[in-house]
Structure 1
Amino acid sequence: MFTGIVSDIGEIESLKPVAQGQLHRLRIGCRYDRATIADGASIACNGVCLTVVASGVEKGTTWFDVDAAAETLGMTTAKHWVVGTRLNLERALKIGDELGGHIVAGHADGVAKILSRENLPDMARFTLNTTRELARFIAPKGSITLDGVSLTVNTVEDTTFSVLIIPHTLKVTTLASWQADSEVNIEVDLMARYAARLTEMK
């Protein structure tokens, strides 16, 4: 489990298709202490929970390898990742950690498309569109995870919604680079999903 609070920005150093293209082996450089990364650990990369299969240090920079499987490549923006792509990283939540965002599974539900970007003094407002299936879980003032970042929804109209990004978030995540027509990973709020399921079963 995660909280949607980014703790580092990593960069893809290499990407190798394996298993007839059904699996991509990624090497991601980061600032984490190598000693704290164990094989089998979970790290959310742009909101996608991936399992560490190897790690090390090269030229003073920590790196870790993860595998992105066919489903991940098909459902998320991972299919567009290339060498040099910067990723929001978050380590898995440990008992006793501060829950600063909201409960995030790291299982991206799909993608949302950025329709527009409005630059404000030190801030930015983004309007996005997603599928009708996912839009039913999005509510004004509710929580949402976009590219691994816990955000509060501002407005919702049909399948379109908006978020306002504060200066701190723009500084410590990749969201400052977002532009119109880009796609981002989306994970809807778990509580909203469970509430909708309970309503459907009545």
Structure 2
Amino acid sequence: MFTGIIEAVGEISALDNKGDDIRLTVQSKTLDMSDVHLGDSIATNGVCLTVVEKGDDYYRADVSAETIKYTGFANYSAGSRVNLEKAMRTDSRFGGHIVSGHVDGVGHVESIVEHTRYVEVWVKAPDSLAKYIAHKGSITVDGVSLTVNEVKGASFMLWLIPHTLKETVIGDYKVGTAVNLEVDVIARYLERLMLGDKAAHTDTHDISLNFLAEHGYLK
């Protein structure tokens, strides 16, 4: 489990083909690798990856074809910068929100507007994720725990302070940049719980406004 509080920014130094999968090498001069062991998890732009090899300033992880297909890794290359967070320790401060490292979909930056004290960024999420994104709710963007400040359909707006822009890869964003999105895990569980006894016989995607009205969630 992660918190969405980025510890360091790394750079992809190699992408080695291993059949349908790739072995990724990430280097970082600022991520403390002293307590990282083989088999540990590191969220890499929000994707939970298992360390299979490590050194003082790098680690390697295998990325499956499935992960490449459903995350922004399809757009990465040697030199790409990535946000890094080691798995949460039980005795550490919980500064963000519950992040699993399981990306739900890829969004795209729609607009970037610079203000005096912050930057306003609009992101278009896949339509299938729109129901999980709520005003003042939490969302993970490339591994960063952020607050949703406004929602319009499947698009949502973020207010980003200078510290976040400096300490994460969000400062590199341009219009069109693909970003990994993970919605609030509580929203996913609530959706499933709403099915009650029907959960064993209903696809989660079958939940509709009619379903909600029939079961008393809408008036």
CA–CA distance in 2 between the matches of 1:17 and 1:121?
A: 44
The question of 1:40 aligning with 2:35 is answered no
Corresponding residue number in structure 1 for 2:156: 161
* RMSD (CA atoms): 1.1
Corresponding residue number in structure 2 for 1:91: 86
Moved more, 97-106 or 23-32: 23-32
Corresponding residue number in structure 1 for 2:206: none
Cα distance, 1:25 vs. partner? 0.5
CA–CA distance in 2 between the matches of 1:200 and 1:76?
A: 28
Q: Which has the higher strand share?
A: 1
> Deviations 1:28-78 (Å, cap 9, x if unpaired)?
101233332210010000000000000114xxxx11101110111000001
Corresponding residue number in structure 2 for 1:150: 145
Do the aligned residues in 1 keep the contact of 2:48 with 2:101 (CA within 8 Å)? yes
Cα distance, 1:171 vs. partner? 1.2
Q: Number of residue pairs matched?
A: 196
Corresponding residue number in structure 2 for 1:137: 132
Corresponding residue number in structure 1 for 2:15: 15
| Structure 1: stretches of 5+ with no match in the other structure | none
User: Partner letter of residue 73 of structure 2?
Assistant: A
| Stretches of 4+ aligned residues off by more than 4 angstroms | none
Corresponding residue number in structure 2 for 1:67: 62
Do the aligned residues in 2 keep the contact of 1:123 with 1:170 (CA within 8 Å)? no
User: Partner letter of residue 195 of structure 1?
Assistant: L
> Deviations 1:73-118 (Å, cap 9, x if unpaired)?
0000011111110000000001111110000000011101111111
CA–CA distance in 2 between the matches of 1:119 and 1:175?
A: 13
Change (3 A) 1:128 1:34: closer
The question of 1:26 aligning with 2:24 is answered yes
Change (3 A) 1:34 1:96: closer
Corresponding residue number in structure 2 for 1:103: 98
CA–CA distance in 2 between the matches of 1:147 and 1:33?
A: 20
Q: Percent identity?
A: 42
CA–CA distance in 2 between the matches of 1:107 and 1:34?
A: 22
CA–CA distance in 2 between the matches of 1:7 and 1:87?
A: 11
- TM-score by length of structure 1 reads 0.93
Do the aligned residues in 2 keep the contact of 1:147 with 1:185 (CA within 8 Å)? yes
User: Partner letter of residue 125 of structure 1?
Assistant: E
> Deviations 1:108-154 (Å, cap 9, x if unpaired)?
11101111111112421111111221110000000000000000001
User: Partner letter of residue 9 of structure 2?
Assistant: I
Do the aligned residues in 2 keep the contact of 1:24 with 1:68 (CA within 8 Å)? yes
Moved more, 161-170 or 144-153: 161-170
| Structure 2: stretches of 5+ with no match in the other structure | 197-214
Do the aligned residues in 1 keep the contact of 2:25 with 2:58 (CA within 8 Å)? yes
CA–CA distance in 2 between the matches of 1:49 and 1:74?
A: 15
- TM-score by length of structure 2 reads 0.86
Alignment of 1:43-62 (within 5 A): 43-57=42-56, 62=57
Change (3 A) 1:100 1:16: same
Q: Which has the higher helix share?
A: 2
> Matched residue of 1:34: which SS?
coil
